Amino acid sequence: MVKYVVTGTTGGLGSQVFKYLLKLVPATDVIVSLYNPSGATQAIKESGVEIRRGDYGDPASLDKAFAGADKLLIISYPSIAHELRVKHHKNAIDAAKRVGVKHVYYTSLAFAGDSVAAVMQAHIDTERYLKESGLTYTIIREGIYSESYPLYFGFFNPADGKDEVIIPHSDGGIAWVSREDLGEGTAKLMVEGGYENQTLLFSGSRSITLKEVAEKISKLLGRNVQLIVSTEDDYVRANVGKHGPRGEEEFLRKWATTYKALERGELDVVDPLLQKVLKRELKPFDTTLKEMLGLAGSVMDLYAK
Ligand SMILES: NC(=O)c1ccc[n+]([C@@H]2O[C@H](COP(=O)([O-])OP(=O)(O)OC[C@H]3O[C@@H](n4cnc5c(N)ncnc54)[C@H](OP(=O)(O)O)[C@@H]3O)[C@@H](O)[C@H]2O)c1
């Protein structure tokens, strides 16, 4: 019997991993480590799995949460605060080592190993720390969520009626992939084993530029949505004060480095591995886009083929 401990299962990616893990192994083999156990979802509560408290900021809680794990999934901490994020990940890795976890899986991100994107730096530091830990590891560079397209596509919001989408520096291809496919793939990878001490990429099966995203949205909405590649200052001016914390100038300037990474083709990488693990086609980006625009299953599907 293999014991699985999975973190982040209340979140977007972790909830998908959890869902698919339970299709593959009995609930008695699964333990969820939750930051906030009282926030356990209905799916977790009804599954019969053991629920433990594991806060990345509280090492003692992690020792208890990870105890007895053969395989541990560390879902990365959702923050852009570099130092805090790395500290949290180091706490999880250190706890895994203390309690003798046999195989650690870490969800990294699809940018390059020498990325210029600010968002990748905490993952690069974590990957290095994990590799040097002496633990058996598998680093999964999870592809860019199709569901997160507005973050890359100038915070596009179809409801505000604006047809000009400004990005800084450069457009580039992105091998978008759905969070559900990533979750299923991550669960299968953990159960099937292998890939010890390797860094893998789970990407979508085709790369689509932001200009192509503009064309797809234009077609779907019957509007003329234009991608404008402009200066960083223009990008900041267009977004500052909007989108909650993402409208803070500090965030916007950091996020602008993403487009320098696009220019280098960092996300323009298609790896067949996820399709191989899932043994099926991946969910197309266009399907997620339609769902997010509220058009899936609508008259558009029936008559606008
Ligand atoms: N690949 C991509 O395109 C992409 C896009 C966006 C983000 N990401 C990153 O990928 C990771 C997972 O994404 P996601 O969509 O699943 O994020 P998410 O929905 O924000 O989920 C994050 C999970 O982390 C848990 N958490 C929060 N604080 C914690 C702590 N102190 N200790 C332990 N767990 C804690 C949350 O628990 P609670 O529910 O209790 O708060 C939640 O379960 C995040 O790091 C996210 O930033 C990737």
pLDDT band at 303 (very low <50, low <70, confident <90, very high): very low
pLDDT band at 190 (very low <50, low <70, confident <90, very high): very high
Q: Where are the domains of the chain?
A: 4-144+177-202
Report residues whose beta carbon is within 6 angstroms of any ligand 1 atom.
Answer: 7-8, 10-14, 35-36, 39, 54-57, 75-78, 107, 109, 142, 144-145, 148
* Alpha carbon separation from 149 to 18, 160, 269 (Å, rounded): 24, 16, 17
**What is the residue with the minimal CA distance to atom 22 of ligand 1?**
11
Which one of 5, 6, 10, 266 would you pick to mutate in the ligand 1 pocket, going by the greatest count of ligand atoms within 8 A of its CB? 10
| pLDDT tens profile 161-188 | 899 999 999 999 999 999 999 999 999 9
Ligand 1 centroid vs 273 CA: distance in angstroms?
Answer: 23
Mean pLDDT of the chain, nearest integer: 95
pLDDT (mean) for 27-45: 97
| pLDDT tens profile 78-95 | 998 899 999 999 999 999
Ligand 1 centroid vs 7 CA: distance in angstroms?
Answer: 9
**What is the residue with the minimal CA distance to atom 23 of ligand 1?**
8
Ligand 1 atom with the shortest distance to the CA of 39: 40
Cα–Cα distance for residue pair 108/119, rounded to 1 Å: 11
Please tell me the predicted confidence (pLDDT) of residue 24: 98
* Alpha carbon separation from 84 to 109, 124, 255 (Å, rounded): 17, 14, 18
- 108: how many CB neighbours lie within 10 A of its CB? 24
Q: Residue 120: CB partners within 8 Å, gap ≥ 6? A: 109, 111, 112, 261
Ligand 1 centroid vs 81 CA: distance in angstroms?
Answer: 13
Residue 160 has pLDDT above 60, yes or no: yes
Ligand 1 centroid vs 79 CA: distance in angstroms?
Answer: 8
pLDDT band at 252 (very low <50, low <70, confident <90, very high): very high
Please tell me the predicted confidence (pLDDT) of residue 80: 84
Q: Residue 57: CB partners within 8 Å, gap ≥ 6? A: 88, 91
**What is the residue with the minimal CA distance to atom 35 of ligand 1?**
35
Ligand 1 atom with the shortest distance to the CA of 76: 45
Please tell me the predicted confidence (pLDDT) of residue 302: 41
**How do 4-7 and 30-34 pair as beta strands?**
parallel
pLDDT band at 251 (very low <50, low <70, confident <90, very high): very high
**How do 137-142 and 164-168 pair as beta strands?**
unpaired
Q: Which CATH number fits domain 4-144+177-202: 3.30.70.260, 3.30.200.20, 3.40.50.720, 3.90.1150.10?
A: 3.40.50.720
Residue 304 has pLDDT above 70, yes or no: no
Cα–Cα distance for residue pair 182/148, rounded to 1 Å: 13
Using an 8 Å Cβ cutoff, are 165 and 230 in contact?
A: no
**What is the residue with the minimal CA distance to atom 39 of ligand 1?**
10
Q: Which two tokens stand for residue 60?
A: 């003692």
pLDDT (mean) for 239-249: 92
Cα–Cα distance for residue pair 163/77, rounded to 1 Å: 34
**What is the residue with the minimal CA distance to atom 41 of ligand 1?**
35
User: Rg of the Cα trace of the chain?
Assistant: 20
Ligand 1 atom with the shortest distance to the CA of 13: 16
Ligand 1 atom with the shortest distance to the CA of 36: 40
Please report how the helices 249-263 and 232-239 are oriented relative to each other, as an axis angle in degrees rounded to 10: 140
pLDDT band at 296 (very low <50, low <70, confident <90, very high): low
The half-sphere exposure of 42 on its side-chain side, counting CA atoms within 13 A, is 0
Which one of 5, 7, 13 would you pick to mutate in the ligand 1 pocket, going by the greatest count of ligand atoms within 8 A of its CB? 13
| pLDDT tens profile 102-135 | 999 999 999 999 999 999 999 999 999 999 999 9
pLDDT band at 297 (very low <50, low <70, confident <90, very high): low
| pLDDT tens profile 66-75 | 999 999 999 9
Cα–Cα distance for residue pair 78/8, rounded to 1 Å: 10
Please tell me the predicted confidence (pLDDT) of residue 282: 98
Please list the alpha-helical segments (H only) found in the chain: 12-24, 42-47, 59-66, 82-99, 118-132, 149-152, 179-192, 210-221, 232-239, 249-263, 273-278, 285-292, 299-303
